[in-house]
A and B are shown apart, each in its own frame.
Chain A
Amino acid sequence: MTARIVLQQADIARALTRISHEILESQRGSSAAGSDLILLGIPTRGVLLARRIGALLQSIEPGTSTVGALDVTMYRDDLAKNPTRAPSPTDIPPGGIDGKTVILVDDVLYSGRTIRCALDALSDLGRPRAVRLAVLVDRGHRELPIRADFVGKNLPTAVEERIFVRMTETDGIDEVTIE
């Protein structure tokens, strides 16, 4: 099967910049200060995306957010159907998530099951004031009533197709392909 590039480096950068502005805009309406914003990336690529969005927020409005990671391996509902997975580190910024606005960041939103795991994991860590979801690609085919608040690109796909998000930090190049 041939790979087709759907987002290139510039497209990804533009999408992240737009998401960053949207996040700040959505915060402006609320009474809470911007420093209550916590970006939690879901490993592996979600963490990298969260760091990039965090850096963008920092350049637009310094001191508005902190970045961490939230591993959802232990909360998955398909553990018994696959070989044992190695978990990744969870890294919650000091001060915890109580009363903060948490923005979950992931690369691709598909069935919605990963996000459900993330919501379960969050409730064991504390009680955020609100939880939002930012994804680089929304490819549809949801199996749960979950939707993203901030989307880089909506990408209608067939179930047989696979989306690959590659990032410079792990793969040497920024691109999203469909195969």
Chain B
Amino acid sequence: MRHLLSTKDLGRDEAIALLDIAEDMADVANREVKKLPTLRGKTVVNLFFEDSTRTRVSFEVAAKRLSADVINFSAKGSSLSKGESLKDTAQTLAAMGADGVVIRHHASGAPRVLAESGWIGAAIVNAGDGTHEHPTQALLDAFTIRRRLHGAGARGRGLDGVTVTIVGDILHSRVARSNIWLLTTLGATVSLVAPATLLPVSIAGWPVTAGYDLDAAIDNGPDVVMMLRIQAERMSAAFFPNAREYGRQWGLDDERVGRLPAASIVMHPGPMNRGLEISANAADSAQSTVLEQVANGVSIRMAVLYNLLSGAVVA
């Protein structure tokens, strides 16, 4: 693997190999010395054109645990806010000798432009581009599901037969897109539930089923319910009448959580709008994996950085 741009490009074996490496990386977090010398002397640049806390911090922790040098670069407070182009920024980073660039950008496809333009030779990791993909989030979600289901025996296994229901703002969600590709590659069955206005116009070609009724979906007893954030910042039009109505119809409230099978898990990529798409009780219940997802995010990102940066560059 040269870059990680999309989970669509990942084969099943490749994905499972990444999850397995993440299992080894997870052990490091429990040790006295939480550091490996693996990427010593490598430089990783976190290039964030969009706000983020957990993803950026997660990548920073991951790179530092592998002994890489980390440079954080956010649009605010840099020349980017003066209107420097992506090309000039990339060439500047290349001139400074970055080995890996973790990029989050509001434009879908920006990471692929960086990877294929030849402006910079570094490995590119997509940390969320517009409404396109967020591959490391999908990987950590898959990792979290696999750990919950199989525990210590998770190594080498896929997610065959697991049913996943993704609920909420599918239209704007890069998390949903990355998860749809990755989870189906790993053998899971994915269904979507959303208001008609928040489903893409056409999902022909997506390996999923879609519905509008959350109660019916909950009564099917899915193994995983993944709630998505209502992304107010990407909503220029009115997609639903008001927040209370959305919460009543598509929010995971206490009553709906109670109807889920006891073994089902509730996921949310964060940040959560408590009381809107997920109730406080649902978010803090034993079924919720929200904090596990954050912890697993570090392991997954270590695995990705290890995979992309440790080996010899294959031309």
Contacts and interface: CB of A to CB of B under 8 A. Distances in A.
A86 B1 CA distance: 13
Contacts of A79: 38, 310-311
Contacts, number: 51
Nearest to A82: B312
Interface string A80-94: 111111111110000
Given A79-B310, A82-B311, A71 B24 contact: yes
Interface stretch (A6-14, A104-112, A119-127, A137-145): A119-127
Interface in A60-83: 71, 74-75, 79-83
Given A82-B311, A83-B314, A84-B311, A120 B37 contact: yes
B147 interface: no
Contacts of B31: 124-125
B239 to A, nearest CB: 43
What 10 pairs across the A-B complex have the smallest Cβ distances? A84-B311, A124-B33, A74-B36, A74-B38, A79-B310, A87-B24, A83-B311, A84-B310, A84-B307, A81-B312
A71 B310 CA distance: 16
Interface string A12-49: 00000000000000000000000000000000000000
A89 B33 contact: no
- Most chain B CB within 10 A, of A71, A74, A75, A81, is at A74
B35 A89 contact: no
A123 B4 CA distance: 33
Interface residues of A, number: 20
A88 B35 CA distance: 17
8 contacts: A74-B37, A74-B38, A80-B312, A81-B312, A82-B311, A86-B20, A124-B31, A126-B32
Contacts of A125: 31-33
B24 A89 contact: yes
B33 A84 contact: no
B306 A84 contact: yes
Interface of B: 1, 17, 20-21, 23-24, 27, 31-33, 35-38, 66, 155, 306-307, 310-312, 314
B155 A80 contact: no
Contacts of A86: 17, 20-21
A120 to B, nearest CB: 7
Contacts of A89: 23-24, 27, 155
Contacts of A124: 31-33, 35-36
B257 to A, nearest CB: 35
B151 to A, nearest CB: 14
A126 B32 CA distance: 7
A88 B17 CA distance: 11
Contacts of B311: 79-80, 82-85
Contacts of B36: 74-75, 124
A76 B21 CA distance: 16
Contact of B38 (A75, A83, A90, A126): A75
Contacts of A75: 36-38
Nearest to B30: A92
A87 B21 contact: yes
A84 B14 CA distance: 12
A123 B35 CA distance: 11
A59 B17 CA distance: 38
B302 to A, nearest CB: 10
B19 to A, nearest CB: 11
Contacts of B1: 84
Contact of B312 (A74, A83, A88, A120): A83
B74 to A, nearest CB: 29
